Chain A
Amino acid sequence: MEVKTIAGTQVNVSDDGYLEDMSQWNEEIAKEIANEVNIELTDKHFEVINYLREKTSAGEALTIRKVGKSGIVDIKGLYKLFPKGPLKFSSKIAGIPKPTSCV
Chain B
Amino acid sequence: METKEVAKKADIKEKKPLEKVCMICAKGSLEDVYATLVMANGAVMEGIETKVFFTFFGLDGITKKSMNHLHTATTGNPAMRMPGGLPFPTMLGGLPGVESAVSGMMRKQMEALDMPPVDEFLEMITAGGGEIYACKLAIDMFKLEKEDLSDEVSDIITIGEFYEMCDGDRTQIIFT
Q: Which residues of A contact B (CB under 8 A)?
A: 61, 63-66, 68, 74-76, 79, 83-88, 101-103
Alpha-carbon distance A100/B83, docked complex (angstroms): 26
* Interface contacts beyond A88-B45, A103-B124: sample of 17 additional A-B pairs, CB < 8 Å, sorted by A: A61-B114, A63-B114, A64-B45, A65-B116, A75-B123, A76-B127, A76-B128, A79-B129, A84-B47, A85-B45, A86-B128, A101-B114, A102-B38, A103-B38, A103-B41, A103-B42, A103-B113
- Residue B46 at the A interface, CB < 8 A? yes
Q: B114's closest neighbor in chain A, by CB?
A: A63
Q: A85 to B116, Cβ gap below 8 A?
A: no
Q: How large is the interface on B (under 10, 10 to 19, 20 to 34, 35 or more residues)?
A: 10 to 19
Q: Does B127 contact A75, Cβ atoms closer than 8 Å?
A: yes
Structural contact, B129 and A66, CB atoms closer than 8 A? no
Which residues of B lie under 8 Å from residue A61 when comparing CB positions? Answer: 114
B115 at the interface (CB under 8 A from A): yes
* Contact B124 A65, beta carbon cutoff 8 Å: yes
Docked-complex contact A87 and B114, CB < 8 angstroms: no
Known: A75-B128, A87-B45, A88-B46. A103 touches B115 (CB 8 A): yes
Interface contact B45-A86, CB-CB below 8 Å: yes
The 20 sampled A-B contact pairs (Cβ below 8 Å) are: A63-B114, A65-B116, A65-B120, A65-B124, A66-B114, A68-B124, A75-B123, A75-B127, A76-B127, A76-B128, A79-B129, A84-B46, A85-B46, A86-B45, A86-B128, A87-B45, A101-B114, A103-B42, A103-B113, A103-B115
Q: Which of B46, B127, B129: most chain A Cβ within 10 A? A: B127
